[in-house]
Amino acid sequence: MRSPLLPSLLLFGFLVFACDSPHHRTNDADIPDADVPEVDADVPDDGDGSGPAMTEYRLNGGAWAMGSSTVVAPGTHTLGWRSRDLAGNIESEQTTSVTVLKAPMSVSLTSKSATISYGASYVLSGRLTSDGVPQTSMRVVVQYLSAGVWKDTSVSAYTDVNGNYRATIKYSSKHTYRVSFPADAYHLGATSTSIVVTPRAYVGTPKAPTTMSRTKYYTVYGYLKPRHTQGTYPVRIYKWRKTASGSWKSEGYVKAKATNYYSYSKCNTNDQQSSL
């Protein structure tokens, strides 16, 4: 007599059993499309035509249990099963080796490379799927490229019911970003394509006297974000003079030297005093 329990294909952490016993029925819709191996076994009979009453299984020599499916960790496992008839007779255990695969994942990134204002935020958005199926309540992490190595940022997000995520970044310098799904016990890791986000430098309005004499020198200064190397001249301060006719005439420019000021730079003309 054929044993009523048949091991089916093992897919991504779920092991599904097919059972043809009227006392232990599996919904055919729950069984994946695959060649299910049939196992022949002698089911004990009490001589009166008693049929099978139940089928039980165990994994890796553990405790016996009943059911039509179970969740197991990825790897190779030994599945054992046996049946009992209505008279209480138990057949010999049968075993087979089954392998659990980790589910493949895919992370899309729909946001594009962009140049943004200094201090502004930028949203990275996309979708997490497995074989086209949206993955819900799964954590993804924003990564940035540093000296050729991808590193995690402190920014992460969880997917919604449609597998979509939104993660907001806010950094003061240019970076290449991507979104990563870290591998876990049941899923393979995955990463998205990368984009480049570039903040514009911020230059404040120069501070200068409202009235200047053509025969004197003055110090003019302003602020620059992000901080630039102290002692360099990253900023030009342009000079314009209003003529008697009311028009403006360019008087060239002077370079402003950067000094550290809090978390940014103060640029001034101390060593290149400005005159008209």
What is the domain-level CATH number for residue 24? 2.60.40
Contacts for 211 with CB less than 8 Å, ≥ 6 apart: none
Residue % of the chain over a pLDDT of 90: 49
Question: Does residue 181 fall inside a structural domain?
Answer: yes
CA distance 231 to 235: 12
Domain count, the chain: 3
Planar angle of CA 138, 141, 145, nearest 5 degrees:
155
Residue 26 — pLDDT band, cuts 50, 70, 90? very low
Q: What is the pLDDT of residues 31-67, one digit of tens each?
A: 344 333 343 444 445 455 566 778 888 989 999 988 7
Q: Are residues 184 and 231 in the same domain?
A: no
Question: Does residue 276 fall inside a structural domain?
Answer: no
pTM for this entry: 0.63
Q: What is the mean pLDDT of residues 14-39?
A: 42
Q: Are residues 11 and 96 in the same domain?
A: yes
pLDDT, position 52:
72
Q: Are residues 43 and 77 in the same domain?
A: yes
Q: What is the mean pLDDT of residues 79-100?
A: 86
Least confident of 12-16, 105-109, 167-171, 258-262: 12-16
pLDDT, position 191:
98
The domain of 251 spans 202-268
CA distance 68 to 29: 12
Reference 101, options 135, 79, 75; nearest CA is 75
